[in-house]
Structure 1
Amino acid sequence: MEQGNPIPRVALVVGVTGMVGITLTEALKKPLALGGPWAVYGVSRRPLPTWFPSSLLDKHIMLDTLNPENTNKILSPLSNQITHLFWIAIYANESEDLSISMNSTMLCNVLGALTLSPNSNLSHVALQTGTKQYLGPIYDPILSRKIIPHEPPFKEDYPRLQFPNFYYALEDIIFSYSKSLTYSIHRSSIIIGASSRSFYNALLTLSVYALVCKHENYPFRYLGNKFTWGHFCDASDARVLAEQQIWASITNSAKNQAFNCTNGDVFTWKMLWGVLCDEFSVEFVPFDEKHKFSYVDFMKDKGHVWEKIVEENGLYKTKMEEITCFGAMDAVSNFQIQHVCSMNKSREFGFLGHANTLASIKMWIKKLRQMKILP
């Protein structure tokens, strides 16, 4: 661990209202948080939602980080305070070239505002990415047909694939600051958490699908392929991601390293489907290849059903298309490889955080109900 703490640690969490953003904020503000006590400043593009406990933040900053002038105007006066940047933000688009441009612009704008001043106190950047590092641009309609992913389990020292990838672009930006800042890179799997503001939210997507099926008396079918139904996959509990990012930010031996971050166990979608059926009181339907169609096609005209469910249960107002990622679910549930990461490097460096994936799904559904996002 680092020795001494000459200046108070101030975290800037960019993407604070997402699944990991809110969980990271909660973890940083715990009395016994590693490296604490922490002050936490949170950045989001929109006002805080009513379910976000604003008392957790020492400062909320509403900011579109794509705007260089406003980013510099708002963040540069704070550069002598902020010591740690946690980059949880994402601009998601099917086009990988557009994703590279937009995500790179956001990160460059923020780092520029925080480092140009001679009085800057920024010392560490924690960058959250994911398994697209090993899979390639799986959501790009053109490139996804050409890529050959790495063999699982995915390992941090695998070479980059020869395809555009905004994760690679963000890493290169971070590397360019390596003479003045330390960094850590955190490669998540499928993230499990609670928010209505995360673009890729598999648990909320499947929960909405289950509730729509229940409301309309449709069978709750798994719409992926037979391979993923019966083969292993892994996930990343938002609490484990938060724990690893804090650990790497204050542990000298973990700095300037990339780490996979998963729960440390595996599941099959068949196992997960059983948990969802229990949680939402819907019948378990065995996998049947005869009923093969996509989540996108099935759910494309179901927005009005979700509106009814929200209204009938007095939920936090959401639109189905804003809180679900059915296109991503179609991609993930139709893999022909086991989506599993190695956690050996992380353990060897001293991080032992873990979670029981199926148990955590139940916990996060309970949390989504408490937040009035789910009934």
Structure 2
Amino acid sequence: MMQENTTSNVALIVGVTGMVGVSLIECLKKPTVLGGPWTVYGVSRQPLPTWFLSSLLNKYINLDTLDQENTHKILSPLSSQITHLFWLALSVNQTEEENISHNSTMLSNVLKALTSAPDTKLSSVTLQTGTKQYLGPVFDPKFSSELAPPVPPFKEDYPRLPFPNFYHDLEDILASYSNSFSHSVHRASAIVGASTRSFFNVALTLFVYASICKRENYPFRYVGNKYTWEHFWDATDVRVLAEQQIWACVTEKAKFQAFNCTNGDVFTWKQLWKVICNVFDIEFVPFHEKDEFDCVAFMKDKGHVWDSIVEENGLYKTKMEEITCFYGMQMILKQEFQHVCSMNKSREFGFPGYADTLRSIANWVDKYRQMKILPMN
């Protein structure tokens, strides 16, 4: 495996407070990390939360990258230092057209700032996307009824679906810079990690749901349908995703490639539900097909319960509505297709990372408890 010979790599992580950003910092600061030692700069729209390990960052930048003028003012002086850009930023809007506009603007603003000077050092960009590459704009009601995912396992060489998708636009922006720097694309499945700043955080949504059910003695009912209860899914541990992105940015063979990124195993939601019940010490409730359950409606008025849990346990101040994604989770889990990606290409190119999804759940719950985001029991 051929790697670049660098000794002074400087990473800029845009979206540093999300699940992957947190893990990426930790991975980049390991003494044995590929391409190390790394200097790490981090960007986020909002100030750092108290649970964030800011001591691992060499420099923190509070910046809204939608603002072209301010982005250029702040980042262009760093263009002679930053060698690698890790793009984790995400703007989620009502329509896919808005997603395209906002996300493309942010990436373009940053790239223009980092390549504006003649002594720019930028050599590599890693772009994080996801399986919406294969599913299409599932959250846009204008298109959702027309979508039909390809046969799983999803593979990187599947053609683009004929629907608007901001992932495509971001990939095309990077391709337009192909003579200036290399890039890689990382398509994650359902991401499991620890942060209060990630928009589509299925794991934290389930953990909050379990915590509320335990406190109020509600049954922990499954939020999807019989199909997803019984059929295979996959997930992406943020540590695997961070390791793949670092591997790709320092590996010659991985330049200008797109890679799926999952843990390398599969599970059924029935199995996962039992694991969550064991971790939270709540009763396992088997799924009954005739039991119609609308989790979004059920949780709509439970914000005050979460407020009480936060207050009683001295947790980091969060609002349930801001850290959960019940609508998106329920919609996906009521589909009838197996959500499984092929990891063959990633393995063939030499990336060895993997994780045991079911075994990792308890570790992530412990992490959230240590961060004082979830109650201890």
For the aligned pair, the TM-score class normalised by the smaller chain equals over 0.9
Q: Give the corresponding residue for 1:248.
A: 248
Q: Give the corresponding residue for 2:181.
A: 181
Alignment of 1:252-263 (within 5 A): 252-263=252-263
Aligned residue for 1:186, secondary structure, equals strand
CA contact (8 A) 2:17 2:48 kept: yes
CA contact (8 A) 2:4 2:251 kept: no
- Cα offset, 1:289, TM superposition: 2.1
- Measure, in 2, the Cα distance between the counterparts of 1:206 and 1:95: 26
Q: Give the corresponding residue for 1:27.
A: 27
- Cα offset, 1:181, TM superposition: 0.8
- Cα offset, 1:293, TM superposition: 2.7
- Measure, in 2, the Cα distance between the counterparts of 1:210 and 1:289: 21
Alignment of 1:281-296 (within 5 A): 281-296=281-296
Query: 2:86 matched to 1:71?
Result: no
Q: Give the corresponding residue for 2:3.
A: 2
- Measure, in 2, the Cα distance between the counterparts of 1:371 and 1:4: 37
Aligned residue for 1:133, secondary structure, equals helix
Query: 2:65 matched to 1:50?
Result: no
Deviations 1:135-156 (A, max 9, x none): 0011112211111111100000
- Cα offset, 1:72, TM superposition: 0.4
Q: Give the corresponding residue for 1:16.
A: 16
- Cα offset, 1:74, TM superposition: 0.4
Alignment of 1:191-210 (within 5 A): 191-210=191-210
Q: Give the corresponding residue for 1:165.
A: 165
Deviations 1:60-113 (A, max 9, x none): 000001100110000000000000000011111231111111111110111110
Alignment of 1:76-95 (within 5 A): 76-95=76-95
- Measure, in 1, the Cα distance between the counterparts of 2:209 and 2:291: 16
Aligned residue for 1:270, secondary structure, equals helix
CA contact (8 A) 1:2 1:252 kept: yes
- Measure, in 2, the Cα distance between the counterparts of 1:315 and 1:290: 38
Deviations 1:38-70 (A, max 9, x none): 000000111111111111000000000110011
Aligned residue for 2:306, secondary structure, equals helix
- Measure, in 1, the Cα distance between the counterparts of 2:185 and 2:99: 18
Amino acid at match of 1:79: S
Amino acid at match of 1:2: Q
- Measure, in 2, the Cα distance between the counterparts of 1:170 and 1:188: 15
- Measure, in 2, the Cα distance between the counterparts of 1:327 and 1:3: 44
TM-score for both structures, normalised by structure 1 = 0.98
- Cα offset, 1:3, TM superposition: 4.3
Deviations 1:193-241 (A, max 9, x none): 0001100111100011111111222110002000000000000000000
- Measure, in 2, the Cα distance between the counterparts of 1:127 and 1:3: 19
Q: Give the corresponding residue for 1:40.
A: 40
CA contact (8 A) 1:295 1:329 kept: no
Aligned residue for 1:215, secondary structure, equals helix
Q: Give the corresponding residue for 1:277.
A: 277
Amino acid at match of 1:335: Q
- Measure, in 2, the Cα distance between the counterparts of 1:83 and 1:63: 19
CA contact (8 A) 2:4 2:250 kept: no
- Cα offset, 1:274, TM superposition: 0.4
- Measure, in 2, the Cα distance between the counterparts of 1:149 and 1:84: 33
Q: Give the corresponding residue for 2:156.
A: 156
- Measure, in 2, the Cα distance between the counterparts of 1:3 and 1:316: 41
- Measure, in 1, the Cα distance between the counterparts of 2:255 and 2:136: 25
- Measure, in 2, the Cα distance between the counterparts of 1:111 and 1:282: 48
CA RMSD of aligned residues (A): 0.9
- Cα offset, 1:18, TM superposition: 0.4
Aligned residue for 2:289, secondary structure, equals coil
- Measure, in 2, the Cα distance between the counterparts of 1:138 and 1:218: 30
Amino acid at match of 1:356: D
TM-score for both structures, normalised by structure 2 = 0.98
- Measure, in 1, the Cα distance between the counterparts of 2:169 and 2:293: 34
**Residues matched between the structures, number:** 374
CA contact (8 A) 2:80 2:121 kept: yes
Q: Give the corresponding residue for 1:220.
A: 220
Q: Give the corresponding residue for 1:239.
A: 239
Tell me whether 170-179 or 186-195 shows the greater mean CA deviation: 170-179
- Measure, in 2, the Cα distance between the counterparts of 1:145 and 1:3: 46
Aligned residue for 2:81, secondary structure, equals coil
CA contact (8 A) 1:253 1:349 kept: yes
Contiguous gaps of at least 5 residues in structure 1: none
- Measure, in 2, the Cα distance between the counterparts of 1:360 and 1:94: 33
- Measure, in 2, the Cα distance between the counterparts of 1:351 and 1:235: 17
Query: 2:342 matched to 1:342?
Result: yes
Q: Give the corresponding residue for 1:355.
A: 355
Contiguous gaps of at least 5 residues in structure 2: none
- Measure, in 2, the Cα distance between the counterparts of 1:126 and 1:80: 19
- Measure, in 2, the Cα distance between the counterparts of 1:139 and 1:260: 21
CA contact (8 A) 1:94 1:141 kept: no
- Measure, in 1, the Cα distance between the counterparts of 2:282 and 2:275: 10
Aligned residue for 2:232, secondary structure, equals coil
